[in-house]
Amino acid sequence: MKSLYKNIFLAAHFVLFLIYNPSRQELRADSSDIDQEISSSLNGNLLAMQFKGNSPEELKIWQANFKAKLNSLLGDTTPPKKWKVIQEDRKLFKDFTRHQLLLTAENYPSVPVYLLVPNRIKPGDRRPAVLALHGHGRYGYDPIVGRVDFKDANRSKALRKEIDRLGYDYGLEFVKRGYVVLAPCMLPFGRRVQHERYGRNDPCGIVFARLQAIGQLLLSRNIRDLKWCLDYLVTRHEVDPKRIGCAGLSYGGRTTMFLTALDERIKVAAPSGVLNLLIERIDRPWGCGAQIIPGLLKYGDHPEIAALIAPRPVVWEAGSNDPLLPAKQEAEFRRRLKIVYKASGVPKNLLFDDFEGGHEWKGKKAYELFDKVLKSKRK
């Protein structure tokens, strides 16, 4: 009897082997591969609202329509009308003062921000300002302002390494150039997520799914918080509200693109490391939940969102060895942007900084452009 059961057991395992053995694809002809499904769907009827015009008038009409569609997909991104600012820390340096603040409002999660203010600003002098946005990473907004003065020596060492690797302290560079800088911490990064709960997993996709379950969108939460930061920035007596720029690397570059597209208070922008298409990233077995807008590809892609920035000046940074910028998709992104800026009548306002390097911030053309737009004359 034992021998019979053993033979049945072995036979069952052999059948399961035949069914699940990847080399026997003919036995799986009726199965459905989700990766193949997604790839097939990306070849379907997408980008229905892609810009097809060639004049400033056609562009304005298209921008109004596409912006309305984008806002409907994002949902409500309105920041609170009333808020308070809590000072957590203040430190004086040779050239500037670093304020660590919390933006707080009833029924809204607080937003941690660093405010960097140049020293010796004369009474009545209003400076240009920059919203400096961080990308993916455990440390959130800390490296953007060059903060390496923590009591934990290991943390400070890791931050220095991150800054050196990515050229990540552009907020610090901007304040040294005379700008007031606001650097917020976004979700789910830095102090706004309990990293130990996620282990080795990237919290972006998990937080995206959890928020979707309660009817919220991760990207929309961040856009709302960035609008809130702008609302606060324009209240500062040191800031000229008509001279504000936005810059960021990686996810910071993507949110720079989104905020500039949706909020015309941003007069100049420098997104870095994000000349890639969502349609290409969706086709891979990985992605970033913090960048996903359900249904977007039915109507447009990242170039269409970037097109909402026109005709305002923008410089797109792209490293020659950036693994996140596939050549074919990057070329397509540029092609569609050039069409839009040509139609706007101001093609010179579209700039690219193509440098030798990887996924990192350079800033050479960005600093030049920001100085030209925000310092040359009051807007």
High-pLDDT (> 70) share of the chain, % = 87
Task: State the Cα torsion 139-144-145-148 to the nearest 10°.
Answer: 40
Average pLDDT over residues 232-246: 97
**Measured at the alpha carbon of residue 115, what is the angle toward residues 111 and 374, in degrees to the nearest 5?**
115
Tokens of 260: 């500039």
Give the lowest-confidence range in 27-36, 173-182, 319-328.
27-36
Residue 12 lies in a domain: no
42, part of any domain? no
CB of 307 closer than 8 Å to CB of 262: no
Angstrom CA distances, 322 to 42, 276, 352, stand at 24, 11, 15
For residues 255 and 302, is the Cβ–Cβ distance under 8 A? Answer: no
| Structural domain contains residue 47 | no
Q: In this structure, are residues 248 and 99 in contact, taking their beta carbons and an 8 Å threshold?
A: no
The C-alpha angle 256, 124, 132, rounded to 5 degrees, equals 15
- Whether 265 is covered by a domain: the verdict is yes
Give the residue numbers spanning the domain of 90: 56-375
Mean of the pLDDT values across residues 105-117? 97
Residue 202: what pLDDT?
A: 83
Segment 21-48 shows an average pLDDT of 60
Asked whether residue 164 is assigned to any structural domain, the reply reads: yes
Closest CA to 166 of 96, 253, 94, 98: 253
Phi, psi of 99 (to 5 degrees): -105, 130
Closest CA to 118 of 101, 95, 147, 92: 95
Domain contains 103:
yes
Q: In this structure, is residue 39 part of a structural domain?
A: no
Six-digit token pair at 284? 């891979």
Find which of 197-211, 217-231, 365-379 is predicted with most confidence, using mean pLDDT: 217-231
pLDDT tier for residue 378 given thresholds of 50, 70 and 90: low
Of 33 and 308, more confident? 308
Specify which of 10-19, 128-137, 275-284 reaches the highest per-range mean pLDDT: 128-137
**Residues 255 and 248 sit within 8 Å (Cβ to Cβ):** yes
The average confidence (pLDDT) of the chain is: 89
Question: How many domains would you assign to the chain?
Answer: 1
With CA atoms as reference, report the closest residue to 220 among 145, 276, 295: 295
Q: Partners of 235 in the beta sheet?
A: none
- Give the SS3 label for residue 135: coil
- How would residue 46 be classed by pLDDT, with cut points 50, 70 and 90? confident
How many CB atoms within 10 Å of residue 197? 9
- pLDDT band of residue 174 (cuts 50, 70, 90) is very high
Q: Is the pTM of this model over 0.85?
A: yes
Domain harbouring 190, CATH code: 3.40.50.1820
pLDDT band at 86 (very low <50, low <70, confident <90, very high): very high
Residue 91, domain member (yes or no): yes
| Distance separating alpha carbons of residues 40 and 18, to the nearest angstrom | 27
